[in-house]
Amino acid sequence: MYKFTASKNTLVVIPQRVVTSSKNWTLDMEGYVLLFNSEFFLQNNFPRQLIDNKKILVLSIQPFVQLSDEDAANIAVIFETILELNKDKTPGNTELVTLKTLELVINCERLFDEQLHFDEDIPRLDIIQKYSNLVEEHFIHERGISFYATQLNVHPNYLNSLIKSHTGKTAKELLQNRLLLEIKYLLHSTDSSVKEIATQLGFNDANYFTSFFSRSEKLSPTKYRSSFL
């Protein structure tokens, strides 16, 4: 879970299913927002792999960087082009929007890489990527780091240290954050009761579920949900 101040030339990339909050943004802030998913590319005959292999769409990667004025201007041009293309319903424009969206993602990946150095240590980043994939697959039923360390054939202490050196969070914290994100997503996007969500996410005790959520968010699941109503 990341908290940061969005200032001039902040570039933010938010992976799917991540619940975000911008309650403290001021009214004079300006910027661009583009929402898409991998199915958007499939529908327009673009291979899904073009998006799926992008590191900026991984939950464990820091989701923001600060751009120079020149880089921010270049990214703004792509956004403006997408906006103009989207207004025009000429046949074929949807494919052009898809192409420009891919261009935007590729450029964002490059800008993130320049600051976060994705390829500086490929073997370690490969472990982080695999850990993120394992968490995505097993976080509901596997809450112990030993399980993930065994799957990756590394010691739990090494896994914690590696993850923290690249993300600022331990492996355990990232695992808990993924669980919290899923709770927030379900509270925000479904009508399921708190007890039903707790059961769905593998909590046998609804009171423990509420305690787990409240310790992190400083309010109960019910109050969290009501804040969006």
- What does the pLDDT look like over 28-47, one tens digit per residue? 778 999 888 777 777 766 77
Residue 11, phi then psi, degrees to nearest 5: -105, 125
All CATH 1.10.10.60 domain ranges in the chain, comma separated: 121-226
Beta bridge partners of 65: 11
Determine how many CB atoms are found less than 10 A away from the CB of residue 61.
21
Query: Is the confidence at residue 19, as pLDDT, over 60?
Result: no
Beta bridge partners of 64: 12
Beta bridge partners of 11: 65
Determine how many CB atoms are found less than 10 A away from the CB of residue 5.
8
pLDDT band at 138 (very low <50, low <70, confident <90, very high): very high
Which residues have a Cβ under 8 Å from the Cβ of 21 and sit 6 or more positions away? none
Distance CA 210, CA 220 (A): 6
Distance CA 8, CA 26 (A): 12
Query: Is the confidence at residue 228, as pLDDT, over 80?
Result: no
Beta bridge partners of 6: none
CATH 1.10.10.60 is held by the domain 121-226: yes
Radius of gyration, alpha carbons of the chain: 19
Mean pLDDT of 8-30: 74
Mean pLDDT of 140-162: 93
